[in-house]
Amino acid sequence: MRGVRPPAWLSDPKVLRTEVLAGLVVGLALIPEAISFSIIAGVDPAVGLSASFTMAVTLAVVGGRPAMISAATGAVALVIAPLNREHGFGHLVAAVILAGVLQIVLGALGVAKLLRFVPRSVMVGFVNSLAVLVFMAQVPEMTGVPWPVYPLIAAGLALMVFFPKVTTVVPAPLVSIVILTAVTVAAGIAVPTVGDKGALPSSLPTPGLPDVPFTLDTLTTVAPYALAMALVGLMESLMTAKLVDDITDTRSSKTRESVGQGIANIVTGFFGGMGGCAMIGQTMINVRVSGARTRLSTFLAGAFLMVLCIVLGPVVSDIPMAALVAVMVMVSVATFDWHSVAPRTLKRMPAGEITVMVVTVVCVVATHNLAVGVVVGALTALVVFARRVAHLAEVTTVTDPDGTTVVHRVTGELFFASSNDLVGRFDYADGPGRAVIDLSAAHIWDASSVAALDAVETKYAQRGRTVEIIGLNEHSARLHSTLSGELTGGG
């Protein structure tokens, strides 16, 4: 069709190779993660692996952010684990489907536009906390294990650091996984492997309805968990999409991504999966480490995951966990924004910005919930901003030469934080009988400011003095005329 450009991977063999190899690396890295998250959710490992397959393949088609990886995640597993434990697997699947419906509704309502209210300091905190969480998730794989695990991890890290200096044709993480697997199998080194995490699926997932009674009672049971999953999944996915936008210097449709996440969760639910959202670790492997940029890598990550499990299950089971731990440690190092914590940066950064970043990181790491960290960080940023601008409203007082009028010139933005101090800026007892409040250099933003001006007028009137407000711009005049005298019981 005229005017439609073919995908880059279709016309450029180099791009195709990058996308295919990136998909293979991510597919390998998804396996132990999906199994681990299945354990957290209290379901069979095959459930998490199937969910990762359906999420990735579906979002490769309907998602808004090319090259982003979505699959079964820890955030979703933590939300739905209590539902599975208390009511069973059927209710979990029903919650996943309902969460998908809610995500489509939220996406259509434009919830993605709320991202514009997330400050940069929260975004930096989000990125850094993700890096910390990715690293922390590897700690259990490095404690209480046979000693050969440690040199294997070190060797894997060394390969990923130095192999790109030789060639970038093949992704270093894939080379590291293949070499470490070959060494451990050939030498018979006894270390934990992917197979130790759980059984891999032996066939493709099949569609079906959740095994629950379709009643109002079921709906009220699963609805709170579905809403929590929808919100957590959207927030994590949209923040990850924004991060990939920044890394690749491209834009993506967050509304399409929101709706796409919903469609993917509905599909996953009908195939008996545990649901999911964007995965920061695997996305960073795909985008930053492997250099993928198109939807093909996302599709192949899910496809390779299932092929590896079904066709090459015995081979994949022999991959040492040390190889995958090394990949994830490298991802965490690459994800962390080291410039944000450099002494030179911290010396120049306002204290409020540093506080917001630290609060975001601490909340995410403490709760293992990215949504909590982002919300608390954004609220902290709001408080910091309000405190900062609250002092920007100034009052300059000048008395006319004839001594009959005093002019108070107000400069700045008047809103709930700055207008609270406004009432105390005037001398009501002394001075000429007439006062003028000049707002030509100010702007009224809310009802609190109108109420404050009403209070000023009342205090002048109580002392037998007249007051006139002048200089209101169009918006301020409209707000003042609408609300003045209507904000108190006596108005």
Question: Whole-angstrom Cα distance, residue 444 to residue 474?
Answer: 10
More confidently predicted of 370 and 398: 398
Question: Whole-angstrom Cα distance, residue 194 to residue 180?
Answer: 13
Q: Which residue has the tokens 């108070």?
A: 408
User: What is the tens place of the pLDDT at every residue in 378-400?
Assistant: 899 888 887 777 666 788 888 88
In this structure, the number of other CB atoms found within 10 A of the CB of residue 463 comes to: 11
Structure confidence at residue 87 as a pLDDT band (50, 70, 90): very high
> Is the pLDDT assigned to residue 483 strictly greater than 60?
yes
Question: Whole-angstrom Cα distance, residue 233 to residue 95?
Answer: 13
pLDDT at residue 491 in the model: 43
pLDDT at residue 276 in the model: 93
Mean pLDDT for 465-487 is 88
Name which of 400, 120, 64, 127 is nearest 259 in CA terms: 64
User: What is the tens place of the pLDDT at every residue in 419-443?
Assistant: 777 888 888 888 888 899 999 989 8
Q: Which amino acid is at 402?
A: D
Structure confidence at residue 413 as a pLDDT band (50, 70, 90): confident
User: What is the tens place of the pLDDT at every residue in 249-272?
Assistant: 999 999 999 999 999 999 999 999
pLDDT at residue 4 in the model: 62
Inter-residue contact 209 to 270 (CB < 8 Å): yes
Name which of 399, 390, 395 is nearest 410 in CA terms: 395
Q: What's the chain's average pLDDT?
A: 88
User: What is the tens place of the pLDDT at every residue in 127-164?
Assistant: 888 788 878 888 888 999 999 999 999 999 999 999 98
Name which of 407, 419, 411 is nearest 487 in CA terms: 419
Evaluate the CA torsion angle 354, 356, 358, 360 in order and state its sign: negative
Structure tokens at 393: 């409203």
At residue 311's C-alpha, the angle toward residues 309 and 315, to 5°, is 70
Q: Which residue has the tokens 């009052």?
A: 395
Name which of 238, 214, 263 is nearest 99 in CA terms: 263
pLDDT at residue 1 in the model: 46
Q: Which residue has the tokens 């092929």?
A: 307
